[in-house]
Structure formats: structure tokens, C-alpha cells
Amino acid sequence: MAKEWVYKTPGIPDEMFNQSDEVPGPTKEEIRVVTISKARLREGDTVIDVGCGTGGLTVEAALQVAPKGKVYAIDEDEAAIKLTTSNVEKFGVKGNVSIASGKAPQALLTLPNADAIIVGGGGGYLRAILQIASSKLKPNGRIVVNAILLETATLAIAELKELGFKDIDIAHISVAKGKQINSGTMMMARNPITIVSATKL
């Protein structure tokens, strides 16, 4: 299939992804850009995407680590697995992605060690997910947590400190997009997202 996204830069427009009312995502394009940048990905890297949803972050990460790298995408929801599979095919990164149905943290145990772990969903299991993620990260590996809830962000900060991560960074991203109305361009706010990232010692 012809490549849908021919650029090196992340930020695939949201509407290019196959989407479903049953599955959250994709993570909005500007949030994906910052998330991928915080993960500091290189060609050849191994990445784990916890809670892949629509596959927005999975696809963006795969494009960064291709041709040799690999993204392991997991989700507990079968509909998310199907949708991520369709988007991975759509964007031509099938060879760089391994998608597995499973619930974190348990599902993380069988995955290989990673250069970066992105947590886009974890339900109530964030603390345990971060503990296992920490043991899976290579030295200088990167963890990135996308939090919709303030409680998720504060828990991530506390747990990453506890686990001895260095350079903990908290970025709260608010994006407003311009919408054309009769009299001009109206800025429409999107939900702010807090991105907590850090480096494994």
C-alpha cells in the first residue's frame, strides 16, 4: 500500500485515522507530537504502547523507529486491537508493530525490554504499570505518561520519583483549534492533557 504519511515529523491529522465510536483516540495530533518528542525515539528503538486504543501513538512511534525498530502495542479491549491493526496497516507499519490483546500490568511481563514506554491508558493500575515499566526499561530509557486526570498526573510524578527516575518533566498542554465561522476564525479549546515524562537511571 502507498505510504499514507510520507513525512518524518509526527502529527498525522486526526481524521486520517480509521476511528470508531467504541474506542477512544486517536490521541489528538498536537498531543501526539509532544508525546512522541518526549519519548525521544530513534530509528531501531523498541517501544511499548500501553493502552493503544485507536493506534494513534502506536503508528506515530512505529514511523519513528522504522525500518528496524518495533512497537509492542497492548490493549485490554478487542475493539481497540482491531482498530489499531487497521491503522497500522493503513499507515504501512505492519512490519514494525506487534499488537497483543491483554491487560496491563500483567500483559507487560512477556514483552521485551524497551527504549521507551508510553502509557496512554492504564485505568486504575498506573502505579503497578509504572513499577513493571521501570523494570522493562533499558538504562536511559524513557517513560511518558499521558494524563487526562490531574490525579493520574500526580500519581505518575510521585511513583516515578519513588522508582528513582531522573529528569521528571511535567508539561500541561492546552490546544485550541481554529474553526471557520461566518465572521472569522473562532478558537475552540480542546481538553488539556498533562504529559509526565522521565528517564530511567
Q: Could you tell me how many helices (H) and strands (E) the chain has, helices first?
A: 5, 9
Work out whether the CA dihedral 51, 56, 61, 63 comes out positive or negative. positive
How many CB atoms lie under 10 A from the CB of residue 128?
A: 15
Q: Which of 41, 88, 104, 147 binds ligand SAH (CB under 6 A)?
A: 104
Please say which residue, 78 or 186, places its beta carbon nearer to ligand SAH: 78
Site string for ligand SAH, 14-53 (x = CB under 6 A): ---------xxxxx-----------------------xxx
Site string for ligand SAH, 109-138 (x = CB under 6 A): -----------xxxx-x-------------
User: Minimum distance from CB of 174 to ligand SAH (Å)?
Assistant: 18
| Cα distance between residue 196 and residue 173, in whole Å | 11
Please give the grid coordinates belonging to residue 125. Answer: 493500575
97: enclosing H helix or E strand? strand 97-101
Instruction: Name the 3-class secondary structure at 32.
Output: helix
Residues in 69-98 that interact with ligand SAH by CB under 6 A: 74-77, 80
Query: Under rule CB under 6 A, how many of the chain's residues touch ligand SAH?
Result: 24
Residue found under cell 509526527: 10
List residues binding ligand SAH (CB under 6 A).
Answer: 23-27, 51-57, 74-77, 80, 103-104, 120-123, 125
